[in-house]
Structures are given as C-alpha cells and as structure tokens.
Amino acid sequence: MGSNSPIYRLQLSDLTIETLSQLRKEDEGVIVAFSTHQNGVGELRALLHKLRMEEIELPIVIEWTYDENDLDMLRVKAAADFGPLLLDGFGDGINIINHGSISDTEIQSCALSILQAARLRFSKTDYISCPGCGRTLFDLQSTIAQIKQATIGQPGLKIGIMGCIVNGPGEMADADYGYVGSGRGRIDLYKKNSCIEKNIPQEEAVERLIKLIKENGDWQE
C-alpha cells in the first residue's frame, strides 16, 4: 500500500448504499472504523459485520479515542473495547488515540500488548502463568518478575511459569518452554510437553532455563 493510499474514516451511519458501492470498487486504501456511540463496541460490531457481509476487502483499522492520564486505566479500557472485536476476527489493526498525558511510547506498547493478547501480532515475550495456590512451593510473583527480566527481549517466545507439577504441564500446554515447581525449592524445565530437566535447585533454574532456550536455537541475541 502506497503512502498516498486513501483512508476512509467510517462509522455505522456512513454505510450508505452509495458508500458501500464505492468501497467495493476500491482495491487500495484502508478503512478506519470508529464509533462515538454510548455502546461503541455494539455499533462497531454492526459496522464491521456489514462490511464483511458486503465483501469489502480493504484492510480495516479499528480506532478508539480516550482522555486518560493513568496508563493502567487506559490499558483496562482499551482492552475491553478492542478485545471483543479482535477475538471475533474483526479488524486488521488498531489505533489508540489518547488526549491525556500518557506518552506515545506507552500508548504504542499498550496497543502491541492488546494485539498480542488477541494472538494477532507477537512483538514481545509471551508469559503464561497459573494464579498460584497452596501447592505452589516458591514465590510465584518474584519468580515471574525474575524470568521476565531475563527473557523480555525474546519476541514471539512463549514461556509457562507454573507453581506445581499437578496442573502446571496441562495449563501451559501451548508454551514453548516451561518452568514448573516440582517440590520445595525444586524446578522442572520443559520444552513443549516434554520434561527436559528435573529437580533443579530453584536458585539455578532461571539460568538453566535460558541455557535450555539457547541450546535449542530459540534465543535471539
């Protein structure tokens, strides 16, 4: 798509017979779908469904506008707005506009996180973790933080971090690598569904996990 490709900004009320007829003829450009309705998700769903039924083939970017100064609040609202549509297969991209004091870098990171959560674009390491329970024999939160710090620069890699051997392997079934508590202060390391190393002392486990990833050629320098 060229830099001068047309952009069609549309809300549901714009989808007249004439507009749809014109869009069907276009083979270049992008549609930006937005809503100012109180039920924005519902209106956007109707708009996107209509475009799909009319066999409009132009790429579609879903856009939401916010006025937030708190990054966590923006994350919650944006995830709730974009998530239902993306998970139902609507849209080829997203655009977050915010009139508050949040930086462009943080907004971009928020957008990439939403796309990754919807399994549309993997731009960072993906972590799968259990919530922890009485069977968890190590500090799950601090371990997750330690593993994230050590592996955060590995886009597209899925790492499962599970508190115990009872449900851990099943809950992280689609992870590339797994870190699973096997006993007090002991860790098992997995590659996919296969246990590669057993009963590793916890203080060595993160380093051994990184070594395992590197030995299998999945580490990006």
Q: Enter the pTM of the model.
A: 0.71
DSSP code string of 54-104: TT--S-EEEEEEE--S-HHHHHHHHHHHHHHHHHTT--SEEEEEE-SS--H
pLDDT tens readout for residues 182-221: 988 899 999 998 999 999 999 999 999 999 999 999 998 7
For 5-46, the pLDDT digits (tens) are 799 999 999 999 999 999 999 889 999 999 999 999 999 999
